[in-house]
Amino acid sequence: MKEELLVGEVPASLRGRPEVHQLGADRCLFCIRSDLTMDGKASDIWLVVTETKAFAVGGGEVFLLKEIQKVRTFQTVGSAFLQFLTDGVYVDVIRYSNACRERFSRAQVQLQRLVEGKPVQLEALKQPSELICPDCGLPLPARRAVCPRCTGGKSIFFRSLSLMREYRGFIALLLCMMIVGVGLDLVPPYLTRLLVDKVLTPKQHIDWLPMILLGLVGASLGRQCLNVFIGRTSSYIGTRITKELRERLQNKLMILSVDYYDRHSAGSLMSRVLYDVDYFQGFVSQVAQGFLLNVILVLGIGAVLFTMNWHLALLVLLPVPFVVVGTMFFWKHVYPRYYRLWDSQSKMSQRLTGLLQGIRLVKLFGQEEREQQRFSDSAQYMQEARRSVEMSTATFGPFMGFVFGLGGLIIWYAGGHRVLEGEITLGTLMAFFGYMGMFYGPISAMSMFSNWLTGFMSAGQRVFEVLDANIGVVEDRDAVRLPDLRGAIELRNVTFGYDPYSPVLKGVTIKIEPGQFVGIVGKIGRAHV
């Protein structure tokens, strides 16, 4: 990583420059690196500040601090200038991109102190940036936010699992029901094999037909009943988790300092509490009925396939490497698009919240058309972000279906030859196809699981970012709680006049105690306090 700030010394790359040699006895206070030349080209340019001078190395003018009246930063599109006011005119000293804006803003403050004859605050210059992660050096989503790259998806995943710690009993019940459900899923192809090989093909054991059909009905009914219990249990856990998580977010938002709300809009925070938390309910459903169930199915069905015929089972696995590579490619290219989609939703919520809260001002100044155009721009941004995500998923799904279809054709070819050669029976091939469809189904679902996982990781990152935010102002442990204070309103020397024919009351004192209602009936002519 390039050096951006040096205190008390000049960069080694500049020590041979003639401008630096002309410093003489001046002591270098600090040097700050810029990334642009005056004409906007990318280049490393250093601003050198001494006790009496300031100049940009590379042909810039040398300014004496005693001749400078004021120091300012002038912002333009994509870049900014550090300027000195000399002889009533602002002069450009150095140009820098927005990536350097924070450190040059700090330098501007310290240069202004030098101009006013105050000592430079070196610690303020060396303070770590609140917008850059100190570990990886990449930009943070907000000031003093938790770096999503350093925490990583694993941290979000395991922290989400920790939310279900108190529901261990329900989770164990879910796991048992899923194992039983997988066992029921394995029954129909086996009964189909018996039906074809033992009943239909040899035309024997006709009395087995009703029992086999009853077995198929029983397995299907048992599986659907288990699905009901699994769905209801996962819904119970998911709704409880989302409720508790929303309460934790609301409690954290209540204790955060005011400067946190200066950095985050109300619409963005509302989006996290109302919408992002819903992903955690989906997390329970995906674990219970999605990813975990599919993993158990793949393992169980794979074992059955290899037991039936390991040659055909190896052919069934041919599409799997293509699915893995495709899923990794999908994850890499679609995950950034999900963050853009969330950003569009957040900005849409922010824009609409501001519009509704300030609707009176909008109507007062006749800005309806302007606000309509701004909202239309936000809607267009959200449309493009959502379309980008959905077009990617719409392309990935059919491609995976084509790969699985090729696997089925391979089994038809190889299995058909083995049936014709008498190596396996027709019932075995039919059962094999039944298990193969059940095997490809979970793999296809697991490949699309990355689609949901990208959205969940993005939402989880934003939720935990609020929960991990620094409180800012912490209450002192030795703080003394004041007792309940009670007071009263006392009006002295009040003069009441009702009408010209009634007497006037002067010098009356009215004392209103807390909780007391005071009403005056009649027409008040005068009231002086």
Contact 513, 488 (CB under 8 A): yes
Q: What torsion, rounded to 10 degrees, do the Cα atoms 473, 476, 481, 482 define?
A: -70
Helix, strand, or coil here: 520? coil
pLDDT bracket for residue 528 (50, 70, 90): very low
**337 CB neighbour count, 10 Å cutoff:** 20
Residue type, 420: L
Nearest residue to 32 via CA among 111, 116, 85:
111
pLDDT value of position 514:
55
- pLDDT tens per residue across span 185-217: 888 888 887 887 787 777 777 888 888 888 888
Q: What DSSP line would sit under 224-250, residue for residue?
A: HHHHHHHHHHHHHHHHHHHHHHHHHHH
Cα 220 to Cα 170, 182, 197, 303, 409: the distances in Å are: 24, 12, 22, 21, 27
Nearest residue to 289 via CA among 182, 166, 187:
182
pLDDT value of position 317:
77
The answer on pLDDT for 234 being more than 60 is: yes
Helix, strand, or coil here: 52? coil
pLDDT bracket for residue 279 (50, 70, 90): confident
Helices (H), 358-425: 359-364, 368-420
Contact 74, 81 (CB under 8 A): yes
Residue type, 200: L
Exposed/middle/buried for residue 189 (C-beta within 10 Å: 0-12, 13-18, 19+):
buried
Paired residues of 86 in beta bridges: 89
The answer on pLDDT for 524 being more than 50 is: no
Residue type, 66: K
pLDDT value of position 490:
65
Contact 53, 78 (CB under 8 A): no
* Distance separating alpha carbons of residues 228 and 214, to the nearest angstrom: 21
Paired residues of 299 in beta bridges: none
What's the token pair of residue 85?
């006011």
The answer on pLDDT for 254 being more than 60 is: yes
- pLDDT tens per residue across span 386-404: 888 788 777 777 777 777 7
- pLDDT tens per residue across span 152-169: 545 677 777 777 778 778
Cα 190 to Cα 62, 184, 207, 294, 417: the distances in Å are: 89, 11, 18, 20, 21
Nearest residue to 49 via CA among 75, 73, 30:
30
Threshold 0.85, pTM exceeds: no
